[in-house]
Amino acid sequence: MGMFLGIDAAASGLTAERLRMDVISNNIANANTTRTREGGAYHRRYVVFKPRDTKVDKASFEGFLQKSKNKLQAGNGVRAITIETDDSQGPLVYDPGHPDANAEGYVERPNVNIVAEMVDMITASRAYEANATAINAAKSMASKALEIGSN
């Protein structure tokens, strides 16, 4: 049973990083959107992660020790809690002819920084690759363990 805990934790990381890449892609796609359904310029979004809860019986001795240490058990993985919106104001650009310009002639641009989003995308991609490598290593170890028993 314990052999699959690493695969389960890495699989949760794959799911979380895929969602993160989807949100980053959406930010990049809307980097020039000055009008949204909610009104105003597009505001970048980001994913909030949280470690998954342990599945330990709280009445057991292990559960008691875990509660007394006030720590989560290592290797449980991660999950996305929510997708938040960055409500900071985007840069104001003077363009009085733009249909979304305010009374002073300024247009609020999205608060999306393409360079920062690309760095986040690369980071998420590398994390995804690391989780995929961890799953492949765990599968390889399980396969080698089965080969030991067959000799």
Which CATH fold topology does 2-31+45-85+112-150 show?
Answer: Helix Hairpins (1.10.287)
CB 54 within 8 A of CB 72: yes
Between the CA of residue 128 and those of 7, 56, 60, 123, what are the distances in Å?
13, 27, 35, 9
**% of the chain residues with pLDDT over 90:** 65
Tokens of 50: 């949280």
What does the mean pLDDT of the chain come to?
87
DSSP 85-117: E--PPPPEEE-TTSTT--TTSEEEPP---HHHH
Domain extents in the chain: 2-31+45-85+112-150
pLDDT tens per residue, range 53-106: 755 555 667 666 666 655 545 567 899 999 999 999 999 999 999 999 999 999
Model's pTM, two decimal places? Answer: 0.80
pLDDT of 43 higher than 60 = yes
pLDDT tens per residue, range 3-20: 678 888 899 999 999 999
